[in-house]
Amino acid sequence: MSAHARTAADLAADVRDGRTTAERAVRDALDRIDALNPRLNAFVQVFHDRAMDDARALDARLRAGERPGPLAGVPVAIKDNLCLAHGRTTCASRMLEAYESPFTATAVQRLIDAGAIVVGKTNLDEFAMGSSCEFSMFGPTRNPWDDSRVPGGSSGGSAAAVAAGLVPLALGSDTGGSIRQPAGFCGVAGLKPTYGRVSRWGLVAFASSLDQVGPFARTVADAALALSVMAGHDPLDATCCARPPEDFAARVGEPIRPLRIGVPRQARGGGNHAAVDAALDAAAAALADRGAEIVEIDLRHADHAVAAYYIVAAAEASSNLARFDGVRYGRRAAVREGEGLEDLYRRSRTEGFGEEVRRRILLGTHVLSSGYQDKYYLTALKARRRIKDDFDRAFEAGVSAVLMPTSPAPPFRLGEKTDDPLALYLEDVYTVSINLAGLPAIAIPAGVASLDGRALPVGVQLVAPAFGEVRLLRIAHELEAALAFNERHTPGY
Amino acid sequence: MADAPRLSPDEVRKVARLARLDLPDDQLPRAAARLDAVLGYVERLAALDLGGVEPLTHVGGEVNRLDDDVPGPTLPPETVARLAPESFGPFIRVPKVLGDGGGA
């Protein structure tokens, strides 16, 4: 197996046991980034010197007999809405194009403390608002399977970086599908942990009741390893749960029996691309072959999830992004003689935010405004409870996990949907309900779609009860082994 | 024939003002049309029977907790001020707030 296809776990073992060095692992990653990133545009910053210094320092620690962590020498990529105390943290926004964070996000720091080497920051839709990685001041990221198509979003840069073998592990954030949809589009594993499982300290907030940090990896076991490193109490994030961390990686190989998989009736609503239905069928059949019972469940409010989500997410975004006012950090617009603070706010925000971000701020401001709050926001919160109840009912009835598509269609072409916000929002039809319910879910590749003579990956996702990641990862690992996607398909890059 | 838009141009201007965003007249029709399309879509929630349903503001009660009120390390004021587009020492410089500053 070529070096760039090594898993994080194998690479770390090689570094620990002296079969390779962190320096070589990082140099290989940087060489591959330098060769492929100009076309892919997955990375928006690459820390050549810093990463090599960090790698040499790690090798020196190893030589001195220190025990490196489980990610020793593993090159990792970080979505550029996670703060890092070196380089810039831009959120792919003109608002923050020069912003240098004075601190590092907890999730990132835990990877570093486990021996990982941060090689760069990856592209995203501005402030994580988008499903295609096209709304970025750095331009779009391209899909490694077909570079005329989008990688999905918003964490498209991290998904493409892992799919193209630039790094074995990358971090993203998932507010309404921003890890799982690009994982599906790029044919890699993408895990959205339970709300509260991973600290959001240092994640630039989009919608605080929904946001969660999670990993992209080529295997479920690597995603489990990353979660084991990142999960757990953080005094700096009051929403981060106090549960003791579990060793997700150690148990990932244990199958679950009896295994009952719920497939929502609404997942085959007829609006799916044929390849999406085929991937869902293949995943269900693979689990059934191994003895799982497949049952139909009813997520009866699924058709209302996108509507509820876009109200809740936009409302929270309008509030969270109020902090960008040109005063304390970020872009400040020039004001003319005689103009005051209000002018500074308005001009800085209008200059700094791209059109999609401004659109969501307007929507969020409207649904929270006097006279409309009950009609939109309160209604959405009630629908949110119904959506969560649907999942709870399925789990209470004995379903081990829910199996559903990640997206209704395979990756679309660059530019195909940028001018139709609603069409882009409907991309999220299978992902947003899981954020509204706060549940853990993992996307893995389950099939291919043949589009214009190119094979493109199609994902499915598994969903488990809150804090059921051990179960989720064990089932996903078994499904991954049964489908053997990585053994049968590779991207063009 | 399209339905009448949900928001008048003046209402859209008001939303932009509340959001502290400039919305020049030449951009207003496009912004208003897109806002209207999304509002039209989300109004499907009105079809749900949500009587007696408690709004879900936060998932999972088990994730909230109270910490002891213990002072911890903070960033030095100079570090924070340096992040500001205009600062001097530990202070952030802003345009005039009162009087003819058109301020708050």
For residue A38 the two structure tokens come to 């100009």
Q: How far is B94 from chain A (nearest CA, A)?
A: 7
Q: Give residue B1's pLDDT.
A: 39
Residue in chain B nearest A233 by alpha carbon: B63
Q: Taking chain B, what is the end-to-end CA distance rounded to the nearest angstrom?
A: 43
Report DSSP state, residue A441: E
- A343 contacts B44? CB cut-off 8 A: no
Quick one: A41 and A136 in the same domain? Answer: yes
Interchain contact, A239 vs B79, CB within 8 Å: no
Question: Chains A, B: CB contacts under 8 A, how many?
Answer: 180
CB-CB under 8 Å, A363 with B38: yes
Cβ under 8 Å to B: A residues 317-336: 318, 322, 325-332, 335
Same domain for A127 and A223, yes or no, is yes
CB contact under 8 A, A422 and B7: no
Encode chain A (493 residues) as per-residue pLDDT tens digits.
456 789 999 999 999 999 999 999 999 999 999 999 999 999 999 999 999 999 999 999 999 999 889 999 999 999 999 999 999 999 999 999 999 999 999 999 999 999 999 999 999 999 999 999 999 999 999 999 999 999 999 999 999 999 999 999 999 999 999 999 999 999 999 999 999 999 999 999 999 999 999 999 999 999 999 999 999 999 899 888 888 878 999 999 999 999 999 999 999 867 899 999 999 999 999 999 999 999 999 999 999 999 999 999 999 999 999 999 999 999 999 998 888 899 999 999 999 999 999 999 999 999 999 999 999 999 999 999 999 999 999 999 999 999 999 999 999 999 999 888 888 898 899 999 999 999 999 999 999 999 999 999 999 999 999 999 999 999 999 999 999 999 999 998 8
Q: Which amino acid is at A34?
A: D
For residue A405, list its beta bridge partners: A460
**Are residues A137 and A266 both part of a single domain?**
no
CA distance B1 to chain A (A): 20
**Of A102, A322, A380, which is closest to B83 when you measure between CB atoms?**
A102
- Which of A380, A415, A445 is the C-terminal boundary of a domain? A380
Instruction: Say if A24 falls within a structural domain.
Output: yes
Determine the Cα–Cα distance for residues A33 and A123; give it in Å rounded to an integer. Answer: 13
Same domain, A14 and A145: yes
Task: Please tell me whether residues A61 and A160 are part of one structural domain.
Answer: yes
What average pLDDT does the segment B51-71 reach?
A: 81
Tell whether omega for the bond before A154 is within 30 degrees of 0, i.e. cis.
yes
Spatial neighbors of A246 by CB under 8 A, at least 6 apart, are: A228, A231, A469, A470
A281/A335 same-domain check: no
Top residue of B11, B13, B20 to mutate, by most chain A CBs within 10 Å, is B20
Q: Are residues A345 and A324 in the same domain?
A: yes
User: In the prediction, which pLDDT does A270 show?
Assistant: 74
From residue A247, alpha-carbon distances to A7, A191, A225, A404 in Å are 18, 16, 8, 26
Strands (E), A363-487: 401-405, 441-451, 454-463
CB A128 within 8 A of CB A154: yes
Q: What's the confidence (pLDDT) of residue B67?
A: 77
Considering only alpha carbons, which residue of chain B is nearest residue A315? B19
How confident is the model at residue A456, as a pLDDT? 97
Do A73 and A185 fall within a single domain?
A: yes
| Contact call for residues A134 and A414 (beta carbons, < 8 A) | yes
A225 is in which domain, residue-wise?
3-254+407-488
Minimum-distance CB partner of A346 among B22, B42, B83:
B22
The reply to whether A274 and A325 lie within a common domain is: no
A291 and A144 co-located in one domain: no
| CATH number of the domain encompassing residue A99 | 3.90.1300.10
- Asked if A384 lies within 8 A of B56 by C-beta distance, the reply is yes
Closest Cα of chain A to B104: distance in Å?
Answer: 7
Say yes or no: A98 and A246 in one domain. Answer: yes
Catalytic residue among A178, A318, A348, A433: A178
* pLDDT at residue number B95: 85
Q: What stretches of A177-289 show up as alpha helix (H) in DSSP?
A: 180-186, 220-230, 248-251, 274-289
ipTM of the shown complex:
0.92
Does A347 lie in the same domain as A280? no
Helix (H, G, I), strand (E, B) or coil at A456: strand
pLDDT of residue A244: 82
A79 is a catalytic site residue: yes
Is residue A468 a contact partner of residue A440, using CB atoms and an 8 Å limit?
yes
In chain A, residues 200-259 whose CB comes closer than 8 Å to chain B:
209, 235, 238-242
Answer yes or no: are the C-beta atoms of A440 and A493 closer than 8 Å.
Answer: no
- pLDDT at position A303, please? 93
Of the three residues A363, A396, A429, the one that is the final residue of a domain is: A396
User: Would residue A401 count as lying in a domain?
Assistant: no
Could you tell me the two tokens for A328?
Answer: 């304390």
Measured between CA atoms, how close is B38 to chain A, in angstroms? 6
pLDDT(B10) > 90: yes
Chain centroid, CA A398 distance in Å: 28
Closest CB to A340 among B45, B54, B97: B97
Instruction: Answer yes or no: is A274 within a domain.
Output: yes
Number of domains in chain A: 3
Using the predicted structure, report yes or no on whether residue B100 has a pLDDT greater than 80. no
**Residue A359, SS3 per DSSP:** helix
- A167 min Cα distance to partner chain B (Å): 31
Of the three residues A370, A396, A422, the one that is the final residue of a domain is: A396
| Residues of chain B contacting residue A422, judged by C-beta atoms under 8 Å apart | 37-38, 41
Q: What is the mean pLDDT of residues B68-81?
A: 89
Q: Is residue A206 situated within a structural domain?
A: yes
In this prediction, residue B2 carries a pLDDT of: 54
Question: Tell me, what's the pLDDT at B90?
Answer: 86
| Residues in B 29-88 with any Cβ partner in A closer than 8 A | 31, 34-35, 37-39, 41-46, 48, 50, 53-60, 62-65, 67, 72, 75, 79-80, 83-86
Residue A190 has what DSSP assignment?
E
